[in-house]
Amino acid sequence: MKKILLAFDGSHYSEGALLFAKKLNERNPVLVTASFLPLVDCANILSYSGGSQHGNEFIPFVEDSKAENIKKNIYRFEEFCHENHLRFRVHKDYFNFAIPELKKESRYADLVIISSELFYEQAGTIKPNEYLEEVLHEVECPVMIVPEKFDFPRSNILSYDGSEDSVFAIKQFAWLFPEFAELPTTLVYGGKEESDFPDEQYIRELISAHYPQTTWIKLDANPKKHFATWVSEKKGAFLVSGSFGRGDLSRIFRKSFITEVIAEHHLPVFIAHR
């Protein structure tokens, strides 16, 4: 059984994230823990960004004018779990909750599920917004970023650039979801080198051990220009990526197609970093 952490913010209630957890539970039982974060003062989000480096503990939150909405959402969550036979927990101390607390919670979870559309959407129109990016940097377990509406994946897309982070994400996905690793899988390399896949012998051995139905693609065209278009046509797939904005992941996989896929809500995106 896996422990899944759902992060809701303010009065936003992500049906997409909850439905995704339900779909996971239908395949293998999970324990769902819902944490309801405060409605933050968005004017202070940017000043908080990187707060863990400067010793700030919390983002200022808006006074509890919407506290009743949060309580209603907690009730909706509990009712949904009862109706769908989901084991669940609710963390209700949401008025003291910010990135440091979410980081701590993630240390004791197998996966965090976050809405790509609703998570602190008031922080700005750019997706992923600053607050979501900060969360992706700080959490201590893999994250699944899901659209509100999705076709539950029937295949996998593994983004590979030869880096430690991309290999780590590929392994984490297989370890967490061996049942999905059995699905048809495409490994995509988008590096600039004209040679074949980096460390080809090693990556092929690893993939053959976990992903029995794998197609290998090397993008010969300009990957920055064409990958986002290509992946947007792959309906019903998981996109597996290494860390977001950390380490040495290539810009192709860090700030080009991953950002665009999240922004346009094409696919569930699985992100893991060491």
Per-residue pLDDT band at 100 (split at 50, 70, 90): confident
Residue 103: its pLDDT value, please?
85
| AA letter at 89 | R
Both 56 and 183 in one domain: the answer is: no
130 lies in the same domain as 159: no
Residues 6+ apart with CB under 8 A from 77: 6, 8, 13, 18, 34, 88, 90
Query: Average pLDDT for residues 211-231, to the nearest whole number?
Result: 78
- How far is the C-alpha of 212 from the C-alpha of 53, rounded, in Å? 42
Chain segment 16-27, per-residue pLDDT in tens: 899 999 999 999
Residue 11: band (very low, low, confident or very high) from pLDDT cuts 50, 70, 90: low
**CA geometry: angle 14, 41, 89, nearest 5 deg:** 40
Domain boundary residue, one of 102, 127, 146: 146
Same-domain status, 138 and 167: no
Give the domain extent around 100.
2-146
Residues present in the chain in total? 274
Regarding whether 159 and 140 lie in a shared domain, the answer is: no
The verdict on 10 and 134 lying in the same domain is yes
| Co-location of 107 and 243 in the same domain | no
224 and 123 within one domain:
no
Identify the CATH number of the domain in which residue 167 sits: 3.40.50.620
Closest CA relative to residue 231, chosen from 117, 118, 155: 155
Q: Above 80 in pLDDT, residue 257?
A: no
Residues 135 and 245 in one domain: no
Nearest to 203 by CA among 254, 144, 158: 158
How many domains is the chain built from? 2
CA 189, distance to chain mean position in Å, is: 21
pLDDT tens digits, 58-94: 444 444 546 777 788 889 999 999 999 999 999 765 5
Last residue within a domain, chosen from 97, 112, 146: 146
Tracing tokens 């092929």 back to the chain, one arrives at 204
CA separation, residue 164 to residues 70, 93, 133 (Å): 40, 37, 20
**Do 127 and 254 fall into the same domain?**
no
Say if residue 255's pLDDT is above 80.
Answer: no
Can you give the pLDDT at residue 242? 84
Looking at the fold, whether 192 and 121 belong to one and the same domain comes out as no
CA–CA gap between residue 185 and residue 16 (Å, rounded): 24
DSSP string, the chain: -EEEEEEEETT---HHHHHHHHHHHHHS-EEEEEEEE--B-GGGHHHHTTHHHHT-----B--GGGHHHHHHHHHHHHHHHHHTT-EEEEE--GGG-SHHHHHHHHHT-SEEEEETTTTTGGG-SSSS-HHHHHHHHH-SS-EEEE-SS-PPPSEEEEEE-SSHHHHHHHHHHHHH-HHHHTS-EEEEE--S-SSSSTTHHHHHHHHHHH-SSEEEEE--S-HHHHHHHHHHT--SEEEEE--SS-TT--HIIIIIHHHHHHHHT-S-EEE---
On whether both 118 and 42 belong to a single domain, the answer is yes
Top mean-pLDDT range of 35-44, 67-76, 160-169, 222-231: 160-169
In this structure, the answer to whether residues 103 and 207 fall within a common structural domain is: no
- Residue ending a domain, among 146, 167, 200, is 146
For 222-254, what is each residue's pLDDT tens digit?
Answer: 655 667 677 777 888 999 988 654 443 344 444
Residues 6+ apart with CB under 8 A from 109: 3, 4, 5, 33, 141
Query: Average per-residue pLDDT in the chain?
Result: 77
